[in-house]
Chain A
Amino acid sequence: DAGVTQSPTHLIKTRGQQVTLRCSPKSGHDTVSWYQQALGQGPQFIFQYYEEEERQRGNFPDRFSGHQFPNYSSELNVNALLLGDSALYLCASSLSSGSSYEQYFGPGTRLTVT
């Protein structure tokens, strides 16, 4: 049973550039959430995708956008990168019809902006 996978593992970008991160949910899951985790902090909710639409959004600027594909995989795009965007980006998947709303995380993409 494949768990949540993310790519790439690490990424180094320059200020002002754009980045795309990818996520494949756990087998059987249809909902994908994205989080940003700065060093020493808990994950911060960016947004959630279900049925190829953004269902919920946290307090992140429009520079952060996403997409979900028919196979439930998802992308996170960040435009006009800032130094403060350096963080671990985590993808979590869950099942919308489940009663527990438990989320399972991928290993994350560590983004460094220089």
Chain B
Amino acid sequence: RKEVEQDPGPFNVPEGATVAFNCTYSNSASQSFFWYRQDCRKEPKLLMSVYSSGNEDGRFTAQLNRASQYISLLIRDSKLSDSATYLCVVGYNFNKFYFGSGTKLNVKP
């Protein structure tokens, strides 16, 4: 079983739509959680850390459910520039990190 699992998509949505991604992790001892964005043939870029209380950054909202071991990312009012692959990341012992395979988002005009 993979440490981190994501729906690979692609999610094809129109501009202005709201889209949500989920990610599940297998190790209940996980300590840190992140969402990264990766454009084609580029490096991953940190989108946001995910905290137990949930956190929001503009159009992006991240939630963590430790009991069910899943993380979510909500994108409101999608823009064309949001098209990318979104990677879920889970950390153990504060220095070992597992990435999901990513969820591809295509925002269409």
A contact residues vs B (CB 8 Å cutoff): 31, 33, 35, 40-45, 48, 50, 55-56, 58, 90, 96, 100-108
DSSP majority for the B interface?
strand
Mark B1-25 against chain A: 1 for CB-CB distance below 8 A, else 0: 0001000000000000000000000
Please list the 10 inter-chain residue pairs (A to B) with the smallest Cβ-Cβ separation, ordered nearest first: A42-B99, A105-B43, A56-B96, A42-B101, A43-B99, A101-B32, A56-B95, A105-B44, A107-B43, A42-B100
How many residue pairs link A and B with beta carbons under 8 A? The number is: 51
Instruction: State the B residues within 8 Å of A (CB).
Output: 4, 32, 34, 42-46, 49, 87, 91, 93-102
Task: Give A108 to B4 CA distance when docked, in angstroms.
Answer: 22
B97 near A33: Cβ-Cβ < 8 Å: yes
Give the nearest-CB partner of A31 in chain B: B95
Does B101 lie within 8 Å of A108, measured CB to CB? no
Cβ A43 vs Cβ B42 within 8 A = no
**CA of A42 to CA of B103, assembled, Å:** 10
Given A102-B34, A102-B49: A55 and B43 within 8 A (CB)? no
